[in-house]
């Protein structure tokens, strides 16, 4: 894959203080992407304060992985900002993002891509998103509450908002205006997909435990971090509804 000239799929992975996960992350992606030509991996050092950036450089250099490259965000401005920084540099006609913590298997991105190809071959403009299984009751409750609130506030059915991966056509990404720079990016993306008539297709994924590092939100994170995410997520739901009302 080192001679990659035509990129079909760009996969963005925001990495914030993931130095211990990076070697295994890249190894898993290398194994997965060997099965598919025309795929690039963009590892975003999202303003990390540990050695994430240098570890990415070292692994890519040692393994000579031509399909992967690093994008550097000097100062962390949010999860969404890291993803958007990677998407800005992406070359593929299909774009995707997933987490760096390996709770979502890198192989899931390729499964999403194959599902996307099947759906679009049948003439459906599609966004594929993960649908998590084996989650703890408290996590399911949070997701369900957010799903109900978002669906009611925005007058559309939305589910498993923060599940990964997410995969969609470039032309849809190009149409996005003023996307948020934090975890609300997931909600914004799904809202815009529904609004623009894309078919949202769920992909069942098995949610694993994080092995290294600290969770930044959701499963495995501290309750303080989780409550902060919940507060911001609910606030953004109503911010987005206000923006929708202004345009009506």
**Which among 121, 125, 113 is positioned nearest to 192, based on CA atoms?**
125
Cβ partners under 8 Å of residue 118, min gap 6: none
Band (3; pLDDT cuts 50, 70, 90): very low
User: Cα 144–147–150 angle (5° rounding)?
Assistant: 150
Burial of residue 26 (CB within 10 Å: 0-12, 13-18, 19+) is buried
Whole-structure pTM value: 0.89
Between CA 144 and CA 82 the distance in angstroms is: 26
Q: What's the confidence (pLDDT) of residue 216?
A: 54
- pLDDT-derived band at 6, boundaries 50, 70, 90: confident
Average pLDDT over residues 89-96: 97
121-171 pLDDT, tens digit each: 888 899 999 998 777 777 777 778 888 999 999 999 998 998 999 999 999
pLDDT at 212: 63
**Confidence (pLDDT) at 4:** 45
So what's the pLDDT on residue 214? Answer: 61
User: Does residue 57 contact residue 29 with C-beta atoms inside 8 Å?
Assistant: no
Mean pLDDT, the chain, whole residue set: 89
How is residue 101 written in tokens?
A: 């913590």
């Amino acid at each position: 894959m080192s001679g990659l000239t035509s990129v079909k799929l760009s996969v963005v992975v925001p990495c914030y203080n993931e130095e211990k996960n990076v070697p295994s992350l890249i190894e898993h992606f290398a194994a997965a992407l060997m099965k598919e030509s025309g795929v690039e991996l963009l590892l975003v050092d999202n303003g990390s304060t540990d050695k994430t950036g240098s570890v990415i450089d070292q692994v890519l250099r040692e393994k000579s992985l031509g399909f992967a490259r690093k994008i550097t965000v000097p100062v962390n401005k949010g999860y969404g900002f890291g993803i958007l920084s990677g998407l800005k540099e992406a070359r593929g006609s299909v774009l995707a993002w997933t987490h760096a913590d390996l709770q979502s298997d890198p192989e899931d991105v390729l499964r999403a891509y194959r599902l996307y190809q099947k759906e679009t071959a049948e003439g459906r403009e599609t966004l594929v998103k993960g649908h998590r299984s084996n989650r703890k009751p408290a996590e399911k409750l949070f997701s369900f509450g957010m799903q109900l609130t978002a669906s009611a506030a925005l007058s559309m059915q939305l589910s498993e908002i923060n599940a990964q991966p997410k995969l969609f056509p470039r032309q849809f990404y190009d149409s996005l205006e003023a996307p948020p720079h934090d975890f609300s990016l997931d909600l914004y993306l799904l809202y815009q997909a529904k609004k623009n008539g894309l078919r949202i297709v769920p992909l069942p994924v098995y949610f694993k435990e994080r092995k290294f590092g600290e969770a930044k939100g959701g499963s495995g994170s501290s309750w303080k971090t989780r409550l902060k995410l919940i507060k911001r997520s609910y606030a953004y739901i109503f911010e987005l509804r206000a923006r929708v009302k202004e345009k009506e």
